[in-house]
């Protein structure tokens, strides 16, 4: 198994665990469905150029921000932070499971998991 396949399998496990933990938050599934694709708004950076687009996209598609939100959700009495952070983590895992990795500055279809799209 090469590193790309390994990372995709790993992401599938993270996605499944996200579903499991989200279920145990008791939050409604309507919120999960409603917010699952919100991180894709980080693609808006590509309206400027590839370099900025990749940077902006990667900020929203790394585990740093949702992991930080998850951490702080345990110290703040706002119960919505925990399910939101889990949804964000699930989105990232789902993207990587499907082959949409962190972007390279050469273009949207160039990722750390390889090129997105049809293989020629």
Percent pLDDT > 70 in the chain is 95
Specify the range with the lowest mean pLDDT, choosing from 48-52, 87-91, 112-116: 112-116
- Provide CB contacts within 8 A for 84, sequence distance 6+: 35, 69
Coil/strand/helix, residue 43: helix
Nearest to 34 by CA among 71, 78, 83, 102: 83
What does pTM read for this prediction? 0.91
Reading the block at residue 9, the tokens are: 């399998």
Stated as kind and residue range, the H or E segment containing 14 is: helix 3-25
């Amino acid at each position: 198994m090469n590193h790309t396949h390994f990372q995709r399998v790993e992401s599938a496990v993270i996605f499944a665990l996200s579903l499991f933990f989200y279920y145990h938050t008791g939050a409604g599934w309507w919120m999960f469905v409603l917010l699952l694709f919100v991180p894709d708004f980080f693609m808006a950076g590509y309206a400027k150029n590839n370099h900025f687009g990749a940077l902006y996209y990667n900020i929203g598609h790394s585990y740093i921000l949702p992991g930080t939100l998850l951490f702080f959700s345990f110290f703040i009495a706002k119960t919505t932070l925990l399910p939101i952070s889990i949804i964000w983590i699930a989105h990232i895992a789902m993207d990587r499971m499907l082959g949409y990795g962190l972007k390279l500055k050469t273009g949207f279809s160039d990722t750390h998991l390889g090129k997105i799209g049809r293989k020629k």
